[in-house]
Structure 1
Amino acid sequence: MNLTSSYSAKSSWLSLRKLALTMAVSAVAMLGYANGANAAYGNVTKESLVDPSILKIDEIKFLGEKVDYDFVLQDESGADFKLGSMIGKPLVLAFSYYTCDGACSVINKNLAETLKGVERWKIGQDYNVLTVSFDQNDTPATLVDFMEKSGFSGGQLPSGWKMTTMREKENIEKLTGSMGFKFFWSPRDALFLHPNVYIMLSPKGRVTRYLYGGTITPTDMELAITKAMGEKIAAANVIDFVVGACYSYNYKDGKYTINIPLFVAAGGLIFGLLLIAGSFSYMKFRRVKHEI
């Protein structure tokens, strides 16, 4: 291989690599924009598409953590009971707020439908379900209204499922924070931003799994309950994260919608990485060819 061809090949390789890196950096920047530009506290897009990135749970930090049994909850009748009374068997925990017009009633309805498909385990017998409000303004009265909106006519919950408020409002953030659940008030839209997630606790009260609302199946729930029984911890898989990230809840339409900017950014990032790999393979092939 002569000096001219070697220089030409090197220049082509550098040009390709520069182009690929530029595209990859641009994709990362776009991804960051899609994840954060319009998702700051109190700054929701005109279409009210809430980006889930600011609400992401640090699973590595909180998986395996044990919750405090002594938190005092109140049911729809105003009766007190401790969180610890719901533990001793797997517990599916959902945080909601009861004046919500959108996602909160949806995730509780979806949970009820999902649990109907869990055949191996019976609610109230093998596991419990608990919905807790993170809004300090919620009362047993707003709770009763929420139960109606969530499809529990006459306030009739399945045996083993309780919907509650916190008696000591100052303990709300202590409970949510102990599981990595974050929520923010948006003054402009007059609503809370929060993740749509079910948190699985083991019989010993340890966090064993996060299941993201809108993406789970009865099989997912059944497996999560089974693992919780054995005190087995499992992080959300890649599919859970991708699907959860690609869908945002549209408060205007009252449904989940695809996060288009995230798809575009991810596509650009993947293309950039493929271009780097392809150009590397091409230059390696040319080098071997010239050596021959």
Structure 2
Amino acid sequence: MRPCADLAPPRRLTRWRALLCAGMLVLFAGGALAVTGVAAAPRAPGELPAIDETQAIRLAEDAVGRVVPDFELRDSNGKPLRLGSYRGKPLLVSFIYTGCFEICPAQTRSLYAAVKGLDSMLGENQFNVISIGFNQPFDDPKAMRAFASQHRIKHRNWAFLSPRPNDVEALTRAFGFSWVATPAGFDHVLGVTVVDAEGRIHSQVLGDAVSAERLGTPLRRLLLYEQPQIVSSPISQLIERVRILCTVYDARTGEYRYDWKLILQMASGLLFFLTMFIWLFGEWRRQRRQRRLTGLPCPVTAHAVSGKGV
């Protein structure tokens, strides 16, 4: 089991922020959800529900190495889609609820900026992203589509999905995602789960500051060493891996860029070995030609045949 990547404690909603997040949920508290959440902290009478942060981190860590079950969800157009259909490429998974007015939108925009930075390093088709609405039945396909449109999330490999209401608890537990329903919304873990190409949870990147650097570390490891993608030819695969290897995170822009110093060093090394190969090949041919010349018999003259002297 791999350790949690860049583990940071989940951010707890403060009371004044929680009041901004989906105040209308209190109207549906009686029957909207069959359970109150995952990893709820013990509380005295009169205290608001909250996450047990220690338990939430432990649940996230325990999920690493687990194969995600093949749940059926619906995309933003209402079409059924199974999690298993994303196998074959790394997958970034975030949980949101559309009734949140501050935390979930900010986290989603942060993830969007990170994904655009990763596109420049890995390419748009190297991984997929999904955001799952866990507040069912309110996070239906229409609400998820409106959420994506409102926050201008447009990416060809990013989908906003809605699970079945009865699957929410099992789905969130499978990913190690902790949440607790409160009168003003939800107290929940912030972060992104990295799933490998075989559908196994590779790492958890927790915290509200999700950057291209933090997500790029596990994705680079997957694509370069652990689960390199199969492309059309070995040459294309080699070029793709070298391209990913020759990128470095730029803290000023928040994106990955090509490390031209490393590229020049690699080109110089390649040129050196090519030069040495050409020289060694030429030396081998020269010595071979010399051995052939020294091994030829002396030409027989007419005087030698007749036995007459000069």
TM range (shorter): 0.5 to 0.7
Q: Tell me the residue number matched to 1:86.
A: 86
8 Å Cα contact 1:93/1:131 also seen in 2:
yes
- Rounded to whole Å, the distance in 2 between the matches of 1:120 and 1:135 is 34
Q: Tell me the residue number matched to 1:139.
A: 140
- Rounded to whole Å, the distance in 2 between the matches of 1:96 and 1:88 is 24
Q: Tell me the residue number matched to 1:261.
A: none
Structure 1, gaps ≥5 residues long: 1-34, 233-292
Q: Tell me the residue number matched to 1:185.
A: 181
- Rounded to whole Å, the distance in 2 between the matches of 1:60 and 1:141 is 33
What pairs with 1:211-290 in structure 2 (closer than 5 Å)?
211-229=205-223, 230-231=225-226
Match of 1:193, SS state, is: strand
Q: Aligned in 2, Cα 1:102/1:178: closer, same or farther, shift over 3 Å?
A: same
1:170 has 2:166 as partner: yes
Deviation at 1:98, TM superposition (A): 1.4
Residues 214-242 of structure 1: per-residue CA shift (max 9 Å, x gap): 3333122111212234448xxxxxxxxxx
Percent of aligned positions with the same letter in both sequences? 24
Match of 1:95, SS state, is: strand
Q: Aligned in 2, Cα 1:85/1:231: closer, same or farther, shift over 3 Å?
A: same
Q: Tell me the residue number matched to 1:195.
A: 189
8 Å Cα contact 2:65/2:201 also seen in 1:
yes
Q: Tell me the residue number matched to 1:128.
A: 128
Q: Tell me the residue number matched to 2:66.
A: 65
Q: Aligned in 2, Cα 1:181/1:116: closer, same or farther, shift over 3 Å?
A: same
Q: How many residues align?
A: 184
8 Å Cα contact 2:51/2:179 also seen in 1:
no
AA aligned opposite 1:82: R
Match of 2:149, SS state, is: helix
Q: Tell me the residue number matched to 2:198.
A: 204
Match of 1:73, SS state, is: strand
- Rounded to whole Å, the distance in 2 between the matches of 1:112 and 1:183 is 22
- Rounded to whole Å, the distance in 1 between the matches of 2:202 and 2:167 is 22
What pairs with 1:10-21 in structure 2 (closer than 5 Å)?
none
Q: Which has the larger radius of gyration?
A: 2
Deviation at 1:140, TM superposition (A): 1.5
Residues 33-92 of structure 1: per-residue CA shift (max 9 Å, x gap): xx9xx97568459xxx988446334344221000012x1111111111111112210000
Q: Tell me the residue number matched to 1:262.
A: none
Match of 1:185, SS state, is: strand
Match of 1:159, SS state, is: coil
AA aligned opposite 1:160: N
Q: Tell me the residue number matched to 2:34.
A: none
AA aligned opposite 2:68: V
- Rounded to whole Å, the distance in 1 between the matches of 2:47 and 2:146 is 29
Q: Tell me the residue number matched to 1:76.
A: 76
Match of 1:130, SS state, is: strand
Task: Indicate the larger mover: 143-152 or 194-203.
Answer: 143-152
Q: Given the two structures, how large is their TM-score scaled by the length of structure 2?
A: 0.54
AA aligned opposite 2:150: K
Dislocated runs of 4+, deviation >2 Å: 38-45, 49-60, 148-152, 213-217, 227-232
Q: Tell me the residue number matched to 1:28.
A: none
Structure 2, gaps ≥5 residues long: 1-11, 16-40, 228-310
- Rounded to whole Å, the distance in 2 between the matches of 1:104 and 1:57 is 22
Deviation at 1:174, TM superposition (A): 1.1
What pairs with 1:78-117 in structure 2 (closer than 5 Å)?
78-117=78-117
How large is the Cα RMSD of the aligned pairs? 2.7
AA aligned opposite 1:215: A
- Rounded to whole Å, the distance in 2 between the matches of 1:56 and 1:171 is 22
